[in-house]
Amino acid sequence: MRTNSVQLPLIPVIGELIKHNPGTISLGQGVVSYPPPPESFNKLSEFVSNSRNNLYQSVQGIAPLLAEIKQKLAQDNGIIIDSNYSIFVTAGSNMAFMNAVLAITNPGEEIIILSPYYFNHEMAIRLADCTPVIVETDANYQPNIPDITKAITEKTRAIVTISPNNPTGVVYSEIDLLAINKLCQENSLYHISDEAYEYFTYNEVKHISPASFPNSNNHTISLFSLSKAYGFASWRIGYMVIPQHLEMAVKKIQDTILICAPVISQYAALGALQTGKNYCQKHLQDITKVRETMLNSLQQINHICQISKSEGAFYFFLKIKTDLNSFELAKKLIEKYQIAVIPGTTFGMENDCYLRVAYGSLNQETATEGINRLITGLREIVR
């Protein structure tokens, strides 16, 4: 079966361990603590007032939301939507990625992903009967352009970037993103750019959208999500910007799998986008304080723990000096210290021990207690 080569999603496994250890503080799943803006809920009355909204709607998305996305892309991302591009509203950006993979590949072809990779990307590529070609990033988890270049073969169809990055939290430079985008253009590949964490940057670091580069419209696929910025995780709304020549392929895929993204969620998304990025940035102030608390505390154990230079998303990626594998360590931390993190093996890091620490859902009090438990656990386990 095609699923035999796909890894077991580890977040539900960690969730089961948390359930059997009540009182565990989770630094695991990447979500925020705040809800959608009030404007999202206000839009639901518009959905209810029109009985036609109970019927199927456009495969690409409802017209008011598509118009709002177009305006947002121009203002926030420097992406001008013209006849060269198409927008599709999807049930989250994971679905957008699956759409992209199915639209541009044949079975047996290759897609380059950078390690540590986002596990759902690797899983989607395998589900499509394609091969993920994994290229290691450098010591700071930044793209290694020469190695990416060497990895391109006649079977390669795309290079994937995630910036700000999950799981490392690093933000890729404009120079590197441009180099990858040009590499795709020169080799007739697609650049799939996952930008789910576009608003989560720190220390005045700027997020760059590759589709804003000149002459990028024919080979750049951009993926966005409301799950993080607007507290929309369960509403399942994302969107993708694709070259116009892929429109019919994506229509076929989306109509087969979904028909259209949930229309009630699209109305809520319309309210969120009309509120704008200031909603996220207001909450980002609290997340930044939690981030600083955790970063300062982790310095106490820098002799056993190497911390990524994370200036985006809401993750730290820790390299732990131990002979334990990362799942064994994560299991001990939950069972003995009631603190949950995600082991690095799920992100493709098999040779050494890595942990992903997520802090987006924590308030200051919970963050302090959580990081204290983590530091105590690591000090006692890793000797």
DSSP 8-state secondary structure symbol assigned to residue 90: E
Strands 353-358 and 315-320: antiparallel
Query: For residue 241, what pLDDT is reported?
Result: 98
- Euclidean distance between CA atoms 157 and 105, whole angstroms: 7
- Euclidean distance between CA atoms 73 and 329, whole angstroms: 42
Query: For residue 295, what pLDDT is reported?
Result: 92
The residue ranges of every structural domain in the chain are: 2-30+278-381, 39-275
Query: For residue 383, what pLDDT is reported?
Result: 73
Q: What type of residue is 53?
A: N
Q: Mean pLDDT, the chain, as a whole number?
A: 95
User: CB-based contacts of 34: which residues, under 8 Å, 6+ apart?
Assistant: 231, 283
Q: Which of 311, 378, 366 is nearest to 27 (CA)?
A: 366
Query: For residue 351, what pLDDT is reported?
Result: 87
Residue by residue, DSSP assigns 143-155 as --HHHHHHH--TT
Report pLDDT digits (tens) over 67-84: 999 999 999 999 999 999
Query: For residue 364, what pLDDT is reported?
Result: 87
Query: For residue 328, what pLDDT is reported?
Result: 94
What mean pLDDT comes out for the span 49-62? 96
The architecture (CATH level 2) of 39-275 comes to: 3-Layer(aba) Sandwich (3.40)
Using CB atoms within 10 A of its CB, is residue 322 exposed (0-12), middle (13-18) or buried (19+)? middle
- Euclidean distance between CA atoms 47 and 84, whole angstroms: 31
pLDDT surpasses 80 at 360: yes
Return the higher-pLDDT residue of 364 and 341. Answer: 341
Query: For residue 2, what pLDDT is reported?
Result: 80
- pLDDT confidence of 3, banded at 50, 70, 90? confident
pLDDT surpasses 90 at 246: yes
The yes-or-no answer to whether 2-30+278-381 and 39-275 have a common fold is: no
pTM: 0.96
Report pLDDT digits (tens) over 121-176: 999 999 999 999 999 999 999 999 999 999 999 999 999 999 999 999 999 999 99
What mean pLDDT comes out for the span 31-46? 95
Question: What are the residues facing 240 on neighbouring strands?
Answer: 88, 223
Query: For residue 377, what pLDDT is reported?
Result: 95
Question: What are the residues facing 315 on neighbouring strands?
Answer: 358
- pLDDT confidence of 7, banded at 50, 70, 90? confident
Three-state SS for 218?
coil
For the record, the structure tokens of 256 come out as 């087969």
Using CB atoms within 10 A of its CB, is residue 215 exposed (0-12), middle (13-18) or buried (19+)? exposed
What mean pLDDT comes out for the span 50-55? 95
pLDDT surpasses 80 at 103: yes
pLDDT surpasses 90 at 5: no
Report pLDDT digits (tens) over 265-316: 999 999 999 999 999 999 999 999 999 999 999 999 989 999 888 999 999 9
Query: For residue 13, what pLDDT is reported?
Result: 83
CATH of 2-30+278-381, one of 3.40.50.2300, 3.90.1820.10, 3.90.1150.10, 2.70.70.10: 3.90.1150.10
- pLDDT confidence of 1, banded at 50, 70, 90? confident
pLDDT surpasses 90 at 28: no
